[in-house]
Structure 1
Amino acid sequence: MPKGNKKKGKSTGKGRVEFVTSDEDSLNDNASVISLASDGTFLEEGNEENDENVQNDAFEEKLIEAIDGLTQKSAQGRTHCLEAISTSFTMRFIPEFVINRKLTLTDGIERCLKKGRGLEQAAAAQLATLLCVQLGSGDMTDQVCRDISPILTFIVNDASMSVQARSKCCWALGLLSFLANVDDIGEPMTTLEGVFSTSYHKGDGTVPSVSVELASLHYAALSSWSLLLTITDLSFLNSYNLPSISQLAELLDSAHLDIRMAAGECIALLLEQGRELSDDWLDEVTDELLDKLRQLATDSQKFRAKKDRKTQRSSFRDILRFVENDELPNIQVRFGQESLSLDSWSKKKQYDTFCQVLGSGMNLHLSENYLLRDILDLGEKISPLNSPTSKQSKLARTLLNAANFKARSISRAKNRDKRSAVVP
């Protein structure tokens, strides 16, 4: 808060201008108040802008250093750099910075996928998805997909690779094919289906035994396949002999919660799109399928963890309502001053996938990232200045405080004059 009526100027050590006034000047409250308010205000605002510029410069310097580190000899060092870049892309939306370094990043990701192993390949696949999220849809993302997808496909199909690397490559292959203008989307869908198909029933109708580690791989492949399903013409599926609802229903018997839930959502997606085409898809809903969904929606078997039972029942209640009564989900997601309505299984699947990739940075990208806003039908980006509940800027708050101080000073000066007029 600015101060008035100083007889001697003193340095504050914060860059404020010194004022030296005489006794006559000190009687003029307005002069000192206005001078201090204006000078102090603009200096503080300048410092705030400078601090922000310094922070941005430091952020970019560290990010450039991490990008340069992708060529070092140490595999552990390259992995740390990949993870650092991914974290930066998650927490900030910086498309201009990324566009200028697209070739460097793409080359680095390719080398790490080809020559790396395990954690390094997983980190490179994760960065590939975030790179395309930053670039948005267009020719640059299409080129990244053409360059990296063959390597991702090779790793997904190679059983000698680590399960963690193959899982991340499944996510990356699905999302890159979703974002890019792929000539033949059936190829990545066939690749992904080849992974989770080992969770189908055996030839004798029994449920296969799948380890926890492999279950995570099957879940990643099934989820990525479901994402591509949201942008696929169902008439095209028959030409690739992709799974039917009856085959996907076999996954509902899996011992792993993630696979059961992903299979249930996939069935809902197929029915949602099929019912828009014709009523023939109603025949796909058999009594056996409904019995399985009811059982999962009311499951209370004690050998399952309590949290798993609760999560499963909540998810399959929604799926069952849709399969039986065609009742679509109605989920509202609030972020900042906006709200996102997930009113279809396709939109819910797309939102969940980006949450999986962006994690804690999802809300920021929903507000800033034009690609996500276009995919989820959020419209144009909303400026904070147009928000009725946005906070005042520091400049506006300082000017308001200065005006209030001036009014208080004048009021108190009048009261002091009245107290000095004492009748003898």
Structure 2
Amino acid sequence: MPGKGSKKRSSAHGGKRAELMSDDDSINNDACSVASGQSDSRSVMDDGNFNDNEVDEIAQQEALEEKLKEAIDGLTQKCAKSRTTCFNGIEKAFTMKYIPDFVEDRKMTITDSIERALKKGRGDEQSAAARLASLLCVQLGAFDSAEIIVKDLKTVLISTANNKSISPTARAECYWTLSMMQFLSGNDAADTIEIMQLLLTAFYDSASADLTALQATILSAWTLLLTLMASSDVHNLISSSNTTDSYMLSLNQIRELLESAHLELRLAAGDALAVIFELGRDYSEEDEIFWAIDLIAILKDLATDSNRHRAKKDRKQQKASFRDILRYIVEDEFPELQIKFGHETLYLEDWCTRVQYTACCRLLGPGLNIHLGENKLLREIFNLGDRVMAPQSSQRRATKQQRNLLNAAAFKARTRQRNKNRDKRSATLAS
């Protein structure tokens, strides 16, 4: 029997305020590469040029912005491959640096290029443009313009995502971007439900063996938006036998997905089940979520799967995931995770926050730690509070010239002291 929940999520986004760390855990390397706007597609930012040992932070920032300007100009090139290279370069810079003021001044130019690529581009260019749309919202989260950009790009993203003539990979990126942009841009309930309904319709239309990856991405995108819904609405929908024209999966559909032959779908369904169960339990601690009991046997099989026809790596990943889900549903024990970044720690204490964090990892990769420390939007989402400043001694590193001057002064002082000691020794020997 499922246990009774005792924890409540603190907000729609969940999370917990970070605590100062005494250790000096460093964030990921913030060196990044931005592509040139020139037709030869050569790199226009050399990581070595941005070593803190060579130039100070101001010079580094100015150099980054100059290279970004070149890459943004390169989005209008005639060569599709060169445009894609520029999209990828800007994407890398946006993941590894938080530069909202710079992006705000160029938001319309970037938005127009994204829209043009989604409409007229193909394959890789469309995928890169869709990813950059989400990153644009991450950068502009502190500005009202983020919501405007979402509205401007929503129609073209839907049109591209639903176009079955383009590559499944590009369609998957567009569906994911629709979900991610809605998650980041204000969480209007009506708009969220609209996107969730769109995603479920696309999910049903993609039910074929050659579209498994697309279907799994759509389900994960749907689950991300589910974390924003009111627990009462989710409880009522999952308890209802009528799911026609709904934004909610039925119990039978969840069971079928858990028994899918494809690992991606099983894992995505497991995350969806955990979020649904958590929201239902938040709604009523007295309610044992009767429908979950029917799935416990399936969860136990998945958590102890030893089928030899599945790859060892897949079995290991599946068992680890479903052991956590089974323990949460049966024993009300959540596998708390601690994410250290800089001098802070983010605690993931519920499934909704875990799904949201995983989505941000997918978008920002190794740059997530940088954004957690500096990005106002992400700090608000994860309830991290105001930005925590680093200790004074490490706020600004000395430039090369400053270090040389200090070293020269120290060398001069040592030389003088040694000369004095030599003079004293000479006087002693002479006497």
Aligned partner letter, 2:209: V
Structure 1 CA distance for aligned equivalents of residues 88 and 126 of structure 2 = 11
- In structure 2, the CA distance between the partners of 1:138 and 1:230, relative to structure 1 (3 Å rule), is farther
Aligned partner letter, 1:210: A
State the partner residue of 2:344.
Answer: 338
Shift of 1:348: 0.7
- In structure 2, the CA distance between the partners of 1:292 and 1:386, relative to structure 1 (3 Å rule), is farther
Structure 1 CA distance for aligned equivalents of residues 78 and 110 of structure 2 = 17
Matched, 1:129 2:134: yes
- In structure 2, the CA distance between the partners of 1:138 and 1:391, relative to structure 1 (3 Å rule), is closer
SS at match of 1:315: helix
Structure 2 CA distance for aligned equivalents of residues 137 and 156 of structure 1 = 28
State the partner residue of 1:274.
Answer: 280
SS at match of 2:308: coil
Q: What runs of 5+ residues in structure 1 fail to find an aligned partner?
A: 1-46, 200-207
State the partner residue of 2:203.
Answer: 196
State the partner residue of 1:382.
Answer: 388
Aligned partner letter, 1:215: T
State the partner residue of 1:221.
Answer: 218
Q: TM-score, normalised by structure 1?
A: 0.79
**Residues 114-125 of structure 1 mapped to structure 2, 5 A cutoff:** 114-125=119-130
Q: Deviations over 1:289-332 (max 9, x none)?
A: 11111111111111111111111111111000011111122011
Matched, 1:178 2:177: no
SS at match of 1:172: helix
Of residues 110, 113, 124, the one that matches 2:115 is 110
8 A contact 1:138–1:180 mirrored in 2: no
8 A contact 1:137–1:179 mirrored in 2: no
Structure 2 CA distance for aligned equivalents of residues 405 and 366 of structure 1 = 44
8 A contact 2:278–2:351 mirrored in 1: yes
- Greater C-alpha Rg: 1
SS at match of 2:346: strand
Structure 2 CA distance for aligned equivalents of residues 198 and 255 of structure 1 = 18
- In structure 2, the CA distance between the partners of 1:69 and 1:411, relative to structure 1 (3 Å rule), is closer
Of residues 252, 256, 263, the one that matches 1:250 is 256
Shift of 1:334: 1.5
Structure with bigger RCO (C-alpha 8 Å, 6+ apart): 2
Shift of 1:406: 3.1
Shift of 1:116: 1.4
Q: How many residues align?
A: 366
State the partner residue of 1:417.
Answer: 424
Structure 1 CA distance for aligned equivalents of residues 103 and 88 of structure 2 = 16
Q: Deviations over 1:240-287 (max 9, x none)?
A: 352134422221111221211111011110111111112446112123
Matched, 1:283 2:280: no
* Aligned sequence identity (%): 44
State the partner residue of 1:299.
Answer: 305
Q: TM-score, normalised by structure 2?
A: 0.78
SS at match of 2:166: coil
- In structure 2, the CA distance between the partners of 1:386 and 1:312, relative to structure 1 (3 Å rule), is farther
Of residues 160, 167, 170, the one that matches 1:165 is 170
8 A contact 2:84–2:125 mirrored in 1: yes
Structure 2 CA distance for aligned equivalents of residues 231 and 171 of structure 1 = 16
Shift of 1:398: 6.6
- In structure 2, the CA distance between the partners of 1:380 and 1:397, relative to structure 1 (3 Å rule), is farther
Structure 2 CA distance for aligned equivalents of residues 177 and 210 of structure 1 = 29
8 A contact 2:200–2:247 mirrored in 1: no
8 A contact 2:119–2:160 mirrored in 1: no
SS at match of 2:339: strand
Structure 2 CA distance for aligned equivalents of residues 155 and 423 of structure 1 = 93
Which has the larger displacement, 52-61 or 167-176? 52-61
Structure 2 CA distance for aligned equivalents of residues 241 and 362 of structure 1 = 30
State the partner residue of 1:240.
Answer: 246
State the partner residue of 1:33.
Answer: none
Matched, 1:312 2:318: yes
8 A contact 2:180–2:221 mirrored in 1: yes
Which has the larger displacement, 404-413 or 329-338? 404-413
8 A contact 2:343–2:390 mirrored in 1: no
Q: Deviations over 1:328-373 (max 9, x none)?
A: 2201111222211111111111110011011121121122211111
State the partner residue of 1:323.
Answer: 329
More helix by share: 1
Structure 2 CA distance for aligned equivalents of residues 391 and 100 of structure 1 = 26
Structure 2 CA distance for aligned equivalents of residues 209 and 150 of structure 1 = 26
Which has the larger displacement, 146-155 or 91-100? 146-155
State the partner residue of 1:61.
Answer: 66
8 A contact 1:245–1:270 mirrored in 2: no
8 A contact 2:142–2:376 mirrored in 1: no
Aligned partner letter, 1:91: M
Q: Deviations over 1:102-141 (max 9, x none)?
A: 1111111111111112111111101100100000155211
Q: Deviations over 1:189-243 (max 9, x none)?
A: 01111222357xxxxxxxx7622xx111111111111110111124445483521
Aligned partner letter, 1:132: C
8 A contact 1:71–1:78 mirrored in 2: yes
Structure 2 CA distance for aligned equivalents of residues 356 and 242 of structure 1 = 24
Structure 2 CA distance for aligned equivalents of residues 228 and 137 of structure 1 = 20
Q: What runs of 5+ residues in structure 2 fail to find an aligned partner?
A: 1-51, 238-244
Shift of 1:409: 4.1
